[in-house]
Structure 1
Amino acid sequence: MALQPDQRYTTGAPSWGRTATADAAAVDAGLRAYMLRVYNWMASGLLLTGVVAYLIANTPELQALFYQRVMTPRGAAVQPTILAYIAMFAPLAFVLVLSFGINRLSKTTAQALFWAFAAVMGASISHIFLTFTGASVARAFFVAAAMFGGMSLYGYTTKADLTRMGSFMMMGLIGIVIASLVNMFIGSTALQFAISIIGVVVFLGLTAWDTQRIKADYVEHAYAEGTELAAKRSVMDALGLYLNFINLFMLLLQFMGARQQE
């Protein structure tokens, strides 16, 4: 008798294949929902930062708490108060607490710290509305948003492994920090311009790398929707992208911004 294939096993796709396809589709849907949550957190934080910064700069009572106008040989200038200096360094404390304490924090506490961080960051950069014209601030913001969006999309869709690029960009970030500290003492305009240009490249690279890292982490761990872990991870991932954007914006403003006439 000739051997015939068993139609019970050769007809249609194998059951394991259907299961794998269903699992991949579920992960993909979960990833899109997770990334949307991350971007929503980031956008909400940026909105709060902008509102706080604008209110401080344009409300006389609040502005007086953070800045005072003094006369210099070149005319009137805005000088930060002690409260403004505290606000400048306070965001670092929030970042450290979130970064090193996220495993011990509850979901509600992590989210509250993120909102507090965004508000304090608004206070720390409120001087931009006193230094630069509103039109140039808006222009730098939209340019930063377009560049950020393009690089984040690249990081999400590319098949290339950006791990090595991320390591290189982290080295560049360390160099920028060192150069900025040096420039605080020498006050070189040329060095500041170079820092701004290199910084833009670095934070664009970090944006692509962070986006790919967030995607890879989700695919590897597949945080279950609605869990404490998923909620906390989305806040931390939003914080990373937020920092990339705000630094990109501030660097673009350094050489794109038009200063107000005193």
Structure 2
Amino acid sequence: MALQPQSRWTQPQQGWGRAGALDQAVLDEGLRSYMLRVFNWMASGLLLTAIVAYLIASTPAVAELFYTTVRTPRGLATAPTILGWIAMFSPLAFVLALSFGINRMSKTTAQALFWVFAAVMGASMSNIFVIYTSSSIASTFFATSAMFAAMSLIGYTTKRDLTKLGSFMMMGLIGIIIAMVVNIFLASPAIAFIVSILGVVIFCGLTMWDTQRIKNDYIEHAYAEGSEMAGKRSVMDALGLYLNFINLFQFLLQFMGMRNQE
């Protein structure tokens, strides 16, 4: 049965005794275990995405199914095929399916959809291996990992309520999406540069907020270890962190990525 920390922590802290201390220790251990499971899911999804993206990019016969390569004054660029367009928009369909259908899904179904989503995301991102050098992709990935870890640690340890920060960052996210759509028609390097800077800031903030939200949700509900709810929630929480990482990586790549010249 799930712990109910709110009801067990009603006695004054000074008079807790061994029972209250035990409840706190059990909750802390459960929280650490749950957070580890969430980050393991996220890391596994990122690994699958990277493997799929690399395999597609390094196999010309498969890559041609998703995109064509053209030369521009700035270097190589890619244009998606019909299958490429499907791969680009499919991740959104999986996110919506998980977000709105999670309550009707079994734990196994949610986990399977997460794996498929990570693989499809790899297909949609495979063109970065054509546009950017492998060394710059690797250095950007490590920079993203360090930045993500720092922001997540702050979100986990801070005593400050980040709810307002999360709301502000979500509004900023809507703003940069609109700016990106507008810039498709304007093709302004200045707007693209500003959007990239704002994107890094916004997803750093969302990483802090999401980490604190996951922690607080567990403390409030204390999902029973191995339960159906714990399994589904860990997938959804991993999905949120995964999306933060991927978007942070893509915006940083705008600054750190070195383009292939041939």
TM-score over 0.5 for the pair = yes
Q: How does 1:66-145 map to 2 (within 5 A)?
A: 66-70=66-70, 77-145=77-145
Q: How does 1:56-75 map to 2 (within 5 A)?
A: 56-70=56-70
**8 Å contact from structure 2 (residues 67, 80) kept in 1:** yes
**8 Å contact from structure 2 (residues 77, 131) kept in 1:** no
Deviations 1:134-159 (A, max 9, x none): 01101111100000000000000111
Q: CA deviation at 1:255?
A: 1.5
Tell me the equivalent position of 1:203.
Answer: 203
Q: How does 1:40-55 map to 2 (within 5 A)?
A: 40-55=40-55
Report the AA paired with residue 32 of structure 2.
R
Report the AA paired with residue 180 of structure 1.
M
Deviations 1:199-228 (A, max 9, x none): 100000000000000000000000000000
CA distance 1:171–1:187, change in 2 (3 Å) = same
Tell me the equivalent position of 1:151.
Answer: 151
Deviations 1:46-66 (A, max 9, x none): 000000000010011211111
Q: CA deviation at 1:73?
A: 8.2
Q: CA deviation at 1:16?
A: 4.9
Q: Which consecutive unaligned segments of at least 5 residues does structure 2 have?
A: 1-12
CA distance 1:19–1:72, change in 2 (3 Å) = closer
Report the AA paired with residue 257 of structure 1.
G
Tell me the equivalent position of 1:9.
Answer: none
Tell me the equivalent position of 1:181.
Answer: 181
Percent identical among aligned pairs is 70
User: Would you identify which runs of 4 or more consecutive aligned residues in structure 1 move more than 4 Å?
Assistant: 13-16, 70-77
Tell me the equivalent position of 2:37.
Answer: 37
Q: CA deviation at 1:20?
A: 1.2
CA distance 1:147–1:75, change in 2 (3 Å) = closer
Q: CA deviation at 1:67?
A: 1.7
Instruction: Tell me the distance in 1 between the aligned counterparts of 2:216 and 2:91.
Output: 27
Instruction: Tell me the distance in 2 between the aligned counterparts of 1:148 and 1:72.
Output: 33
Report the AA paired with residue 148 of structure 2.
F
Q: CA deviation at 1:259?
A: 0.3
Report the AA paired with residue 163 of structure 1.
T
Q: CA RMSD in A?
A: 1.7
Number of equivalences = 250
Report the AA paired with residue 155 of structure 1.
G
Identify the structure with bigger relative contact order (alpha carbons < 8 Å, sequence gap 6+): 2
CA distance 1:235–1:58, change in 2 (3 Å) = same
Instruction: Tell me the distance in 2 between the aligned counterparts of 1:66 and 1:201.
Output: 31
Query: For 2:103, what is the secondary structure of its paired residue?
Result: coil
Instruction: Tell me the distance in 2 between the aligned counterparts of 1:205 and 1:92.
Output: 22
Please say which of residues 136-145 and 14-23 is displaced more in the overlay: 14-23
Please say which of residues 16-25 and 101-110 is displaced more in the overlay: 16-25
Which structure: larger Rg? 1
Tell me the equivalent position of 1:226.
Answer: 226
Report the AA paired with residue 24 of structure 1.
Q
Instruction: Tell me the distance in 1 between the aligned counterparts of 2:32 and 2:104.
Output: 27
Deviations 1:118-139 (A, max 9, x none): 0000000111000000011011
Report the AA paired with residue 117 of structure 2.
F
Q: CA deviation at 1:78?
A: 3.1
Q: CA deviation at 1:80?
A: 1.5
